[in-house]
């Protein structure tokens, strides 16, 4: 094991954010997860409950995201006998699909970088 044992308790982590030109966060892993859960559940309320985020915070965060992007991510359908529902727009689905693909490509590259880093620590 050599010198590696003194580094055995470290973990390398990273996060990805999409930001506006002024540095304002548009989308990161948390908002992505909210959008993905809305897509799966068909409800902002259910997605917020599932992720343990207040409905008000989730709605506010996603409205800000839409304002910064300049296009809608969500379609809200109010009330009725079965209650309302929230769906992603076609552009919203496209956006989160491409974000997820980019994130997966980052993960492959990061895994390779981490392997090299840990291998170098063993020397």
52-110 pLDDT, tens digit per residue, is 999 999 999 999 999 999 999 999 887 665 667 899 999 999 999 999 999 999 999 99
Residue 30 placed within a domain: yes
Residue 3 placed within a domain: no
CB count in 10 Å sphere of residue 31: 21
Residue 42 placed within a domain: yes
Residue 9 placed within a domain: no
Give the chain's end-to-end CA distance (angstroms, integer). 9
Residue 39 belongs to domain with CATH number: 1.10.10.10
Residue 22 placed within a domain: yes
Q: Is 65 exposed, middle or buried (0-12, 13-18, 19+ CB in 10 A)?
A: buried
Higher-confidence position of 120 and 40: 40
Residue 6 placed within a domain: no
Mean pLDDT for 5-30 is: 85
Residue 45 placed within a domain: yes
Which residues form the domain of 81?
A: 16-122
């Amino acid at each position: 094991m050599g010198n590696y044992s003194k580094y055995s308790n470290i973990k390398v982590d990273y996060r990805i954010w999409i930001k506006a030109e002024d540095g304002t966060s548009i989308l990161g892993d948390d908002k992505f997860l909210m959008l993905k859960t809305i897509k799966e559940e068909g409800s902002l309320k259910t997605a917020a409950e599932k992720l343990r985020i207040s409905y008000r915070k989730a709605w506010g965060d996603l409205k800000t995201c839409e304002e910064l992007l300049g296009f809608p991510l969500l379609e809200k359908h109010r009330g009725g006998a079965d209650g309302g529902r929230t769906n992603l727009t076609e552009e919203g689905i496209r956006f989160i699909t491409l974000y997820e693909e980019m994130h997966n490509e980052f993960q492959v590259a990061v895994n390779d970088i981490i392997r090299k880093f840990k291998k170098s620590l063993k020397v």
